């Protein structure tokens, strides 16, 4: 049903990329791939370890390589990491290889969704709310640049968001808004 090569989800941590992505993949009969889990599988270590050993720059280089490899496939729903859009080359690659959906969520909802999550390196460095606000300010224009469609996941559970996003995608594709 997806007229694009791939359906690619971008957005901040806690927006629902993985949860919603799995449901979309099932709905459209596509394979689901979580870029962060794939990176961990390929390196044999968790993302916090990569950050600790190589820093954010090292992690982003690995992320870029994994994403470039993943989008060579067709027929996937790809959940990217929240910072995947930081690299201009990656943004161009994502747009060229799929229909990109920006899953948006407000900082307040992120805080609630991530309250017990201690696995995210960027949230381990101080005031979580301040970190999320800074990330949102820096990344929002990049999500907008790469996205074919913006969808707000706030105040919805994953099942409801996936159902509503499915409807929005079908409407968008029926209007011929496909870039890949």
Name the stretches of the chain with pLDDT < 50: 1-2, 179-180
The pair of three-digit structure tokens given for residue 83, joined into one six-digit string:
């910072």
Bind-site residues for substrate: 36, 60, 82, 139
Bind-site residues for ATP: 14-19, 120
How far apart are alpha carbons 116 and 90 in whole angstroms? 30
State in words which class domain 7-173 has.
Answer: alpha beta
How far apart are alpha carbons 10 and 174 in whole angstroms? 22
Bind-site residues for Mg(2+): 18
- Per residue in 59-86, pLDDT (tens digit) is 989 999 999 999 998 999 999 999 999 9
Beta bridge partners of 171: none
Give yes or no for a contact between 35 and 97, defined as CB atoms under 8 angstroms apart.
no
Bind-site residues: 14-19, 36, 60, 82, 120, 139
């Amino acid at each position: 049903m997806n007229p694009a090569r791939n359906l690619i989800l971008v957005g901040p941590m806690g927006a629902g990329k993985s949860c919603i992505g799995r449901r979309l993949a099932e709905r459209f009969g596509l394979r689901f791939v979580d870029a962060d889990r794939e990176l961990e599988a390929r390196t044999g270590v968790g993302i916090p370890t990569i950050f600790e050993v190589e820093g954010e720059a090292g992690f982003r280089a690995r992320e870029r390589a994994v994403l470039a490899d993943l989008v060579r496939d067709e027929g996937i729903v790809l959940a990217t990491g929240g910072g995947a859009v930081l690299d201009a080359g990656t943004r161009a690659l994502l747009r060229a290889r799929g229909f990109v959906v920006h899953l948006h969520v407000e900082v307040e909802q992120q805080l609630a969704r991530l309250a017990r999550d201690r696995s995210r390196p960027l949230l381990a460095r101080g005031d979580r709310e301040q970190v999320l606000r800074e990330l949102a300010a820096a990344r929002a224009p990049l999500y907008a640049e790469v996205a074919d469609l913006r969808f707000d996941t706030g105040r919805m559970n994953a099942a409801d968001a996936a159902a509503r996003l499915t409807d929005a995608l079908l409407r968008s594709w029926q209007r011929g808004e496909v870039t890949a």
